């Protein structure tokens, strides 16, 4: 047998296949882990974005709360531990509306916050009823503690979300203070 005719032995082929298999498993493992981390990272970013956007929405709606001329206080109501409403100038569903009534309802069983708005909230057919959950859209799903509540005088609204507490003050009260001192 001449040196040019020599081929690979079965042992050399098997070792080559073993090395190729080990490298393939290593590469697959690295890709699988990176895909898992990417998925977890995207989920975490999505949750942070939802929490941030909800915080901005509540702040904007509380700051834009409408002041009731009869009571000289903002029309912000804590209807129950899970139900909250505010008449505000800041709408997300009806951007052209000057005033809307925003409803928030938290379902602790599912960890879902529901939301809706009414443009014609002064309509007597509503009878001051809170809208049914079927008419509301899910705004946030969380497994963390959640609360949205106001004090007795509606001057401060507190949002507790994922262990953090945010406090919002209606801007109309600042205007009332300025008007009474001026």
Q: In a structure prediction context, what are the per-residue pLDDT tens digits for the chain, which is 182 residues long?
A: 555 667 778 898 999 999 999 999 999 999 999 998 888 899 889 988 999 999 999 999 999 998 878 878 888 888 888 999 999 999 999 989 889 999 999 999 999 999 999 987 776 666 667 889 999 999 999 888 889 998 776 678 999 998 899 999 888 765 545 555 55
Give residue limits of the domains in the chain.
47-181
3-state secondary structure of 130: coil
Half-sphere exposure of 145 (CA within 13 A, CB side): 7
pTM: 0.73
Q: What is the 3-state secondary structure (H, E, C) of 45-56?
A: HHHHHHHHHHHH
């Amino acid at each position: 047998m001449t040196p040019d005719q020599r081929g690979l032995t079965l042992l050399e082929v098997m070792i080559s296949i073993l090395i190729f298999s080990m490298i393939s498993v290593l590469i697959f493992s690295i890709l699988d882990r990176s895909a898992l981390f990417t998925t977890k990272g995207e989920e975490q970013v999505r949750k942070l974005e939802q929490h941030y956007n909800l915080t901005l929405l509540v702040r904007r709606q509380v700051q834009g709360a409408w002041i009731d001329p009869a009571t000289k206080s903002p029309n912000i109501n804590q209807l129950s531990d899970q139900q909250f409403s505010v008449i505000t100038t800041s709408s997300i569903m009806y951007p052209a509306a000057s005033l809307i009534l925003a409803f928030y309802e938290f379902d602790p069983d599912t960890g879902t916050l529901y939301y809706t708005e009414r443009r014609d909230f002064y309509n007597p057919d509503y009878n001051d009823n809170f809208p049914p959950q079927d008419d509301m859209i899910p705004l946030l799903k969380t497994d963390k503690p959640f609360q949205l509540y106001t004090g007795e005088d509606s001057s401060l609204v507190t949002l507790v979300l994922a262990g953090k507490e945010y406090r919002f003050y209606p801007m109309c009260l600042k205007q009332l203070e300025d008007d009474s001192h001026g």
